[in-house]
Amino acid sequence: MRMTKPLNIGLIGYGFMGRTHSNAYKRVNDFFDTGYRPVLRAVCGRDMEKATAFAAQWQYESVETDWQKLIARDDIDAIDICTPNNTHAKIAIAAAEAGKMVLCEKPLSMNVEEGERMVAAVENAKVPNTVWYNYRRVPAVTLAKQLVDEGRLGRIFHYRAQFLQDWTIDADLPQGGAALWRLDADAAGSGVTGDLLAHCIDTAIWLNGSVRDVTAMTETFVKERMHNLTGKVEKVGIDDACAFLCHFENGSLGLFESTRYARGHKALYTFEINGEHGSLRWDLHDLHRLEYFDHREESIIRGWHDVHVTDGDMPYMDKWWVPGLQIGYEHTFVHHVADFLTDLTAGRATSPTFAEALQTQKVCQAILASAESASWMSV
Ligand code: SOE
């Protein structure tokens, strides 16, 4: 183990994502040799009682209730944004202007215009930045990237992805508040497009390159919900479901679907890529497996390989247990922090940067515009 330098973290937001990131900061040096050691300097949230309880549970050294004060502190190196989407831009821009590194939850922003300002801010300030599209760092997904980059699939024809959930079917669920800000268009920007399809699009761009144009349809099944801020029944502005077709720049065709109304599915993120020589298939519910088909194999043994991605020569797995023993969802965040710290030591950017995540934002915006206008939109 080399000597590690401290990296003082100021976390903003203590919800579900605040926990995944805190866990990653705490575990990373137990398993990865990165050159830096995150120090949980402060957590910031509007509710002092909740922030204090979070700080006690995760061992943050101090608590702030005003994110501007957190950013102004000299003992903070990196600001980690885990707040609702409508706050990402103002916090990230202020943090970059104060010379802090910025790690931002997905999606980058509410829209492309905000995202562009965020990219300009981190680039002008030359501060390290990244967006937490965590599924890239599931070892099986990282292995898929390796196989695609090695050219094993040949020319790509099709990219297909789905992200299916069922947690908003109940019409009595309010919009706004705690995790339910995801149902409030003013806080989230969009529904499944920014929340779930953004994950699929980030992975797709990473594996298969840029998206050229899209045609989409969206639906809002529950049109009105009680708003927990006003106490009134208000129109729902988010997309509950979205499906889109696209062309990738490499000539392949994309087919994507996401919904929070697929009864029985909790977080079924799947993708499949079909190329001239072979195909790949992955499923979040079985995340350590990568299915691979190679048509060039001898016909009598040709078939789908069910690769259990746990061997030490597979991405990230040499840092964990022994072959055959798997890891899970939380490890994707540990991997992201590990890469961020390693890249920091090497003076490299950590993908996806704000600029890369802006490409996903552009696709999301084109999807929503296409659904609105019922026409093809270029990205
Ligand atoms: C809720 O829809 C959610 O928690 C998303 O916000 C996450 O990004 C996704 O990974 C799981 O589902």
- Which residue's CA is the closest to the ligand 1 atom numbered 9? 196
CA 196 / ligand 1 centre spacing (Å): 6
SS3 call for 21: helix
- The H-or-E segment that residue 185 falls in is helix 185-188
154 backbone φψ class: left, alpha, beta (φ>0; ψ -120 to 50): left
**What pLDDT digit, counting tens, does each position of 225-246 carry?**
999 989 999 999 999 999 999 9
Pairing type for strands 36-44 and 62-64 reads parallel
Predicted pLDDT at 3: 86
Give per-residue pLDDT as tens, 211-228: 999 999 999 999 999 999
Which CATH number is 81's domain given?
Answer: 3.40.50.720
Task: Tell whether ligand 1 has an atom less than 6 A from the beta carbon of residue 202.
Answer: no
Mean pLDDT of 90-118: 98
> Among 1-15, 233-247, 255-269, where is mean pLDDT lowest?
1-15
Q: What is the mean pLDDT of residues 6-17?
A: 97
Does the beta carbon of 195 lie inside 6 Å of ligand 1? yes
Across residues 360-365, what is the average pLDDT?
A: 98
Range of the domain at 83: 5-134
The pair of structure tokens assigned to 55 is 């700080």
Ligand 1, closest atom to CA 16?
A: 4
Q: How far is the C-alpha of 311 from the C-alpha of 317, rounded, in Å?
A: 6
Strands 253-259 and 304-308: unpaired
Compute the mean pLDDT over every residue in the chain, rounded to the nearest whole number: 97
Are 216 and 371 within 8 A, CB to CB? Answer: yes
**Residues 48, 142 within the same domain:** no
Structural domains in the chain (count): 2
Nearest ligand 1 atom to the CA of 260 is: 2
Domain boundary among 103, 134, 165: 134
The rounded percent of the chain whose pLDDT value lies above 90 is 98
Q: Which burial class, exposed, middle or buried, applies to 78 when counting CB atoms under 10 A from its CB (0-12, 13-18, 19+)?
A: buried
From 134, 154, 185, the end of a domain falls on: 134
CA quadruple 34, 35, 41, 46: dihedral sign: negative
> Whose CA is closest to 227, among 280, 285, 187?
187
If asked whether residues 146 and 237 sit together in one domain, one would say: yes
- pLDDT, one tens digit per residue, over 275-324 is 999 999 999 999 999 999 999 999 999 999 999 999 999 999 999 999 99
The rounded distance, in Å, linking the Cα atoms of 107 and 114 is 11
Q: Say whether both 167 and 247 belong to one domain.
A: yes
Q: Mean pLDDT throughout 181-192? A: 97
Q: What spatial distance separates the first Cα and last Cα of the chain, rounded to whole Å?
A: 45
Predicted TM-score (pTM) of the model is 0.98
Residue 54 and residue 167 in one domain: no
Which residue, of 117, 134, 151, is where some domain finishes?
134
pLDDT at 1 over 80: no
Per-residue model confidence (pLDDT) at position 55: 98
Residue nearest to atom 1 of ligand 1 (CA): 195
CATH assignment of the domain containing 163: 3.30.360.10
Ligand 1, residue 135: give the atom nearest the CA: 10
Return the pLDDT at 177: 81
Average pLDDT over residues 96-100: 98
